[in-house]
Structures are given as C-alpha cells and as structure tokens.
Amino acid sequence: MRTIFSAGIQNPEDFKTKLLAWAQQFREVVYMDSNNYAQAHSSFDAVLAVDALTAIQTDYVNAFEELNTYQKTTKDWLFGYLSYDLKNDTEVLASQNLDGLGFPDLFFFQPKKIFLLKGDTLEAHYLFMCDDEWEQDLEKILGYPSNLQPTTLNSQPLTIQQRISKESYIDKVEHMRSHIYRGDIYEANFCMEFYAEDAIINPLETYQKLNAISEPPFAVYLKNHKQYLLSASPERYLKKEGSTVITQPIKGTARRSANPQEDEAIKQELQLNEKERAENIMIVDLVRNDLSHTAEKNSVKVDELCGVYTFKQVHHLISTVSSSVGQEYSPVDVIKSTFPMGSMTGAPKISAMQIIEKLEETKRGLYSGAVGYFTPEGDFDFNVVIRSILYNEANNYVSFSVGSAITYESAPKKEYDECLLKANAMRTVLMGE
C-alpha cells in the first residue's frame, strides 16, 4: 500500500534537474522525461522511481512468464526494462554475438518512492514503510542548487571505435538485399555498435548533455547498481491505458537544416518519399498483426499513417496503431505478443531476426529493447531504446548502436550515412566534439 502526497512546483524544469540529482544516492533509479514534447497520449511530464523493495532480474529463459507472475503478485508500480534478446523467449532464436556490456535480459523493480510530475503539480507515491520521509525528502530536493549544470564530463575524451567498418557495412547491406530479392524478407533493421573500452564517464552528466542535445519525448535515465542507460529516445513502443493499447513505430528519417526554408523542404520531401513511406507502412502492417493476437475482434486500427514529426536533430515519419485488448489477456501477454517491436526487427519478423543475428556482430541487449513501467491497475507505457548510451561501470565499457531499415530499394551508402546521422548526438557527448 502507498501513501499519496502532492505539492505545487513553481519551476518544473528546475525541479526535474534537482530531483534527478537527488536520486543518485539510490542503487535503482528510473527517470523518464517527455521534455515537454506535445504528445496526444502522454500521462506525465516526468516520472522518477527509486529504491527497490523487491526486484526481478533474469536472463531470457521463461522471462515473460516470470514477469507476468511478478506483476500479478505485486499489483503495484513496477519500473524496468526488456532487452531485445527476450526474442529468444518468444521464438526459437539465439543470441551468440559479442556482448561487452553484460546486462541482464530483464530487470524490473518495485520502488519505495515514486514521483509523478504533470504541469506544476507533483504527486508522490510512497510505500507505507517510508511515507514518514516525504517532507524531509522534498526539503532536500528543493535544497539543491538551482539550474545545476554539468561540469567536466569525462577525465579524458573517449576513443570511440566502430564495430563494423564502412566497407563491411556496405557488404552486409548488399547481403541483406539479396535476402529481400529472394523473398526471405521484405525489410530488416540492421544495426551496428560504436564502443569505448577502459572508459570512465559521469552517467548523470552524460545523460544531461545527451538530453539537452536532443530533448526527445521518451528520454530515460536508468541505473541498476553499476549498469546505466542514458537514452534520448524519440519513439514509443507500447502503451496500455484501460483496454486501449497504442503503438507508435518510427520509420523514415531526414536531417534537419538550420535554414527554415530548406528545413521545411526536407520535411515535405520526407512526407512524399516513397521509399521512406514504404518502410513505415510495412512496419505498420506488422504491428497491426502483432496487436491482433490480443485484440478484440475488428478493434485494430491505424489512427495516423506516416505523420511527419520534427525533433531537434531529425525529422521522422511516425504512425499510430491502436487496439482494444481482450479481457482474457494480461498486460504482459500484450507485450509478449508484440515484442520485439517491429520497427527494430523487420518483416516478416522471425525471418528478419534470424538474418539480423547472422549479419550483426554485437548482441543488442538493452539497445532496441524497451524501458517503462506498469501501474497497479495493469496499465503500462514503454519506449524504444534507441539514440542511447549504455555504460557498465564495473568493466568501464561504453556502447551505443545505430541502425536503419533496409529494403530492396536501399542504397547502402545512404543507409550508412543515415546511421552516422543518428550517431551524431552520442558521439558529440562522448567525444566532446
């Protein structure tokens, strides 16, 4: 059981900075920030959960069954992540590629303290065992200096290495196109890793810098002891509210321009680009099929197809697909039937994942997985882990990956350039460029 407190906040942006700084004392932290991006389906502007009472951490074997039991047993707020390699729990698949990070495949915890910020109103949900700490905590949070600024990010600039060379990338894309030509797949999301070894970074300051560059609607700071996710994700994976489920896949990317007229022209070109639209529509068909497994009959619909959305660094095509969930399905059933998200796999999904595994050289892990939360009522909201930095403080390994959708119409050099465009923010933050 929880006690709910509320307070008015004079400067929400300043308060969010103080709140996250205060949270660093805890072993488990999940912080999610919409960065005031206008969203039709947003429940909160920012959410913070800290300090586990209970937790679940496991590899992919029976992971969804264990999560389902945990969610049904606690009937409480749960925060955590699903790694991409949970695909091995839903299908006969394996992940044999290099894993420099060593994160668990699944991690969720039941926080003692939760902060929900909407507008200038803060709502805190404290477990009974610690609800007498609320006033003291709020006083400490408000006592942090205003407008905390990052100091020196790293003791020395990191040397970022690229796991797949440009030449190898182009060869692999051509190989993938040959699969498409033979009819094995229609589309696949192909990713490559950038990494640094013997790396020491300040996770909080790195997140602040990354978030400031991108200001995305699904930013996440996640800490599980010495394992960190610093995410500037623009993409929602899946949200359930009542019986309604929505997914919002991103497929289609174009650069921004500092010139307003050129920027608008780029945006319009993306809207009309047949290749980019085809990528998006193929994934929309895939997620419609995924949602149908737990949907009431005839309830799956496309609410928006190929809408153009503008972010600080890129324009994207985003579609919204919704369904009404059958009463016989649990929240975890809905997630399991749609995971991994189609925007990060391809179509048909299983064939695409098999081919991806052979051509990629790194285990994806949390990259292209999802971070989010369950409510006590069984609602949930999860992002897609892209545009993100992963850091294992125990072995000083830093990693970020980028990818693009490959179709038969893909030009390998252009796909490579798109990957570098998506890598810009992470490279800038880690290398001090």
For 33-102, give the secondary structure using H, E and C: ECCCCCCCCCCCCEEEEEEEEEEEEECCCCHHHHHHHHHHHHCCCEEEEECHHHHHHHCCCCCCCECCCC
- Selecting among 18, 251, 349, 422, the annotated active-site residue is 251
SS3 307: strand
Express the helix, strand and coil content of the chain in percent, nearest 5 each.
35, 35, 30
> What is the maximum alpha-carbon separation in the chain?
65
Whether residue 249 contacts residue 343, with contact meaning beta carbons closer than 8 Å, is answered with: yes
Span 377-394, pLDDT tens digits: 999 999 999 999 999 999
236 three-state secondary structure: strand
Separation CA 105–CA 400 (nearest Å)? 17
Cα torsion 92, 352, 342, 328: sign: negative
Of the candidates 374, 400, 398, 375, the residue with the CA atom closest to the CA atom of residue 385: 400
Q: Which residues of 307-319 are buried (b: 16+ CB within 10 A; e: fewer)?
A: ebbebebbbbbbb
> Which region among 33-47, 165-179, 368-382 has the lowest average model confidence (pLDDT)?
33-47
Q: Which of 193, 205, 235, 418 is catalytic?
A: 235
The dihedral formed by the CA atoms of 412, 414, 415 and 419, expressed in degrees to the nearest 10? 140
The answer on pLDDT for 126 being more than 60 is: yes
Listed in order, strand segments (DSSP E) in 64-217 are 78-82, 106-118, 121-127, 161-162, 187-196
Tokens of 107: 């991690």
Q: Match domain 2-146+157-431 to its CATH number in 2.30.110.10, 3.40.50.620, 3.40.50.800, 3.60.120.10.
A: 3.60.120.10
- pLDDT for 354 equals 96
Return the minimum-mean-pLDDT range out of 225-229, 249-253, 384-388.
249-253
Domain ranges of the chain: 2-146+157-431
**What is the H or E stretch that residue 223 is in?**
strand 218-224
pLDDT digits (tens, 9 = 90+) for 52-97: 999 999 999 999 999 999 999 999 999 999 999 999 999 989 989 9
Q: Supply the pLDDT for residue 153.
A: 47
Question: Cis peptide before 216, with omega less than 30 degrees from 0?
Answer: no
What's the whole-model pTM score?
A: 0.95
- 121 DSSP β-pair partners: 8, 118
- Categorize the per-residue pLDDT at 148 as very low, low, confident or very high, splitting at 50, 70 and 90: low
pLDDT surpassing 70 at residue 336 = yes
Q: Report the C-alpha gap between 349 and 185 in whole angstroms.
A: 8
Q: pLDDT by residue (tens digit) across 254-310?
A: 999 999 999 999 999 999 999 899 999 999 999 999 999 999 999 999 999 999 999
Residue 127 pLDDT > 90, yes or no? yes
Contact 242, 379 (CB under 8 A): yes
Is 235 labeled as catalytic in the residue annotation? yes
